[in-house]
Amino acid sequence: MSKEGEKEGSFPLIGDKFPEMEVGTTHGEISLPEDYQDRWFVLFSHPGDFTPVCTTEFVSFANRYDQFQEKGVDLIGLSIDQVFSHLKWTEWIEDELDVEIPFPIIADNTGNVAKKLGMIHPGKGSNTVRAVFVVDDRGTVRTILYYPQELGRNIDEILRVVEGLQTSDSSAAGGKGHVAIPADWPNNDLLGDEVIVEPASTEEQAEENLKKYDCYDWWLCHKELEE
């Protein structure tokens, strides 16, 4: 029988609870998502240690580690490699590139975690694809991103995803109403750094929104982000 948040024969989807699992990492054993209660985390897989694109990604994640931490977000790497391979690779990155990798890396040498999370593409052998799971402080999967092996990720976009989700959550929790985040926020071509007001569901609310906010039409109103 599967645990809460797991579906037989499939990986977790957006809105599902992240599946419970015990994993071995370069920082020791970790229980997911239990060890990250009240914290967000970004779990990302890479095809393999000692590979060029993955090395550039790990340097970028490490260089932005403090920015993730400021948002209450922890990073967790993963690939189907032995832990000693992870340790030698991160040692090489520190020695040769002068960058310390501060986050744990899951040693999924059996492939069980990657299979459970849908990180293995049938056409790419046993290597994991470049998958990203953004999980909130309630253990809920909020965003899933997939990249092919030949394309490195944009780490700033992952930071933007976290900030956008947290901004939307904070607005709703603070009684300021549900808001949506426009494309390329906070540098949207139409709205700049403003956010989108939840579309009206009644005629009365539509009229009120047109008076209260800047609107292109009743279904596209926007406002400055409230502190």
Query: Which residues have C-beta within 8 Å of that of residue 220, sequence separation ≥ 6?
Result: 196, 199
Instruction: Output the pLDDT for position 7.
Output: 46
Query: Is residue 138 a contact partner of residue 90, using CB atoms and an 8 Å limit?
Result: no
pLDDT over 70 (residue 62): yes
CB 159 within 8 A of CB 67: yes
Kindly tell me if the per-residue pLDDT of 1 is higher than 80. no
- 178 vs 56 pLDDT, higher one: 56
Which range has highest mean pLDDT (1-5, 7-11, 113-117, 174-178)?
113-117
pLDDT given at position 50: 97
221 is catalytic: no
Helix (H), strand (E), coil (C) string for the chain = CCCCCCCCCCCCCCCCECCCEEEEECCEEEEECHHHCCCEEEEEECCCCCCHHHHHHHHHHHHCHHHHHHCCEEEEEEECCCHHHHHHHHHHHHHHHCCCCCCCEEECCCCHHHHHCCCECHHHCCCECEEEEEECCCCEEEEEEEECCCCCCCHHHHHHHHHHHHHHHHHHHCCCCCEECCCCCCCECCCECCEEECCCCCHHHHHHHHHHCEEEECCEEEECCCC
Q: Which CATH number fits domain 21-153: 3.40.30.10, 1.10.10.10, 3.40.50.150, 3.40.50.1220?
A: 3.40.30.10
Assigned CATH topology for domain 176-223? Antioxidant, Horf6; Chain A, domain 2 (3.30.1020)
Span 113-164, pLDDT tens digits: 999 999 987 766 677 889 999 999 999 999 999 998 899 999 999 999 999 9
Residue 56: pLDDT band (50, 70, 90) is: very high
Q: What is the mean pLDDT of the chain?
A: 92
Distance between CA atoms of 156 and 16, rounded to whole angstroms?
Answer: 25
Segment 173-205, tens digit of pLDDT? 888 888 999 999 999 999 999 999 999 999 999
* pLDDT of the residue at 125: 65
Q: Is the pLDDT of residue 9 over 70?
A: no
Catalytic residue (one of 23, 30, 32, 54): 54
For the chain, percent of residues with pLDDT exceeding 90: 85
Break the chain into its structural domains and give their ranges: 21-153, 176-223
CA torsion sign for 173, 177, 182, 184 is negative
The mean pLDDT value for 72-86 works out to 97
Q: Which residues, at least 6 apart from 107, have a Cβ–Cβ distance to it below 8 Å?
A: 24, 25, 26, 81, 82, 83, 85, 86
Calpha distance 203→163 (Å, rounded): 32
CA-closest candidate to residue 151, choices 75, 77, 57: 57
